Structure 1
């Protein structure tokens, strides 16, 4: 059983009941489950065109949406960080003593075999255990 479990989530989906159930099963009674959303900021050209104020509004909107999507799960701590998806998940886990990452993955297609999905990259690079739930 783990003290800290990270459940990465995309805001275009709700928190997966299956990954949440797996996280609960793996978490110590006194442990912590963290729902992490990685907010990918636009590339530098888009940043310049949009402006800092609009970018900050986008981040605040994403933070509110994450809170809304996790509100019915008081046992889950919502966290949002800026960065690149898989790299930020791996770094967050290492920096915060995460014992296990529980994440969902879609069925791979040809591009995933050539480029690698976020889940595949997390599995390859994480220094902790990773459980991947495939629907």
Structure 2
């Protein structure tokens, strides 16, 4: 059983409900589950066309979506950070003393055939246990 479990959540995928169930099954009775969404700011040429207010509103909207997704799960603590997805998940886990990451994986592309690209990077670089839940 794990005492500090991190569940990365992509707000545009439906995998997170299943990964939260897996996290609950793996969590010790005195454990904590943290749901993390990494907000990636618009990059490259897209960022030229967006003013600061639009980017801030996008972050606020992501925060609201996270709250709504977890409203029926008061025992799961929501967190949202800005950054690159896989790197931010790994850095957050290291900084917060996470002992297990439960991450979902969607249908991968050819370069990451067995896991999705974010999941595969987390598996390769995380310093704690990682459980991957593959969506059906």
* TM-score, normalisation: structure 1: 0.90
Distance apart, 1:45 and its partner CA: 3.8
Deviations, residues 79-99 of structure 1 (Å, cap 9, x unaligned): 110011111100000011001
Distance apart, 1:14 and its partner CA: 4.2
Distance apart, 1:17 and its partner CA: 3.3
Residues 16 and 120 (structure 1), Cα distance of their counterparts in 2 relative to 1, 3 Å cut: same
Contact kept? 2:38, 2:80, Cα under 8 Å: yes
Q: Output the CA distance in 1 between the equivalents of 2:64 and 2:15.
A: 15
Structure 1: give runs of 5+ residues left out of the alignment.
Answer: none
Partner residue in 1 for 2:80: 80
Equivalent residue pairs, number: 135
**1:11 and 2:28 aligned:** no
Q: Output the CA distance in 2 between the equivalents of 1:12 and 1:34.
A: 18
* TM-score, normalisation: structure 2: 0.89
Partner residue in 1 for 2:29: 29
Alignment of 1:1-135 (within 5 A): 1-14=1-14, 16-113=16-113, 117-135=117-135
RMSD: 2.0
Q: 1:50 is paired with a residue of what secondary structure?
A: coil
Structure 2: give runs of 5+ residues left out of the alignment.
Answer: none
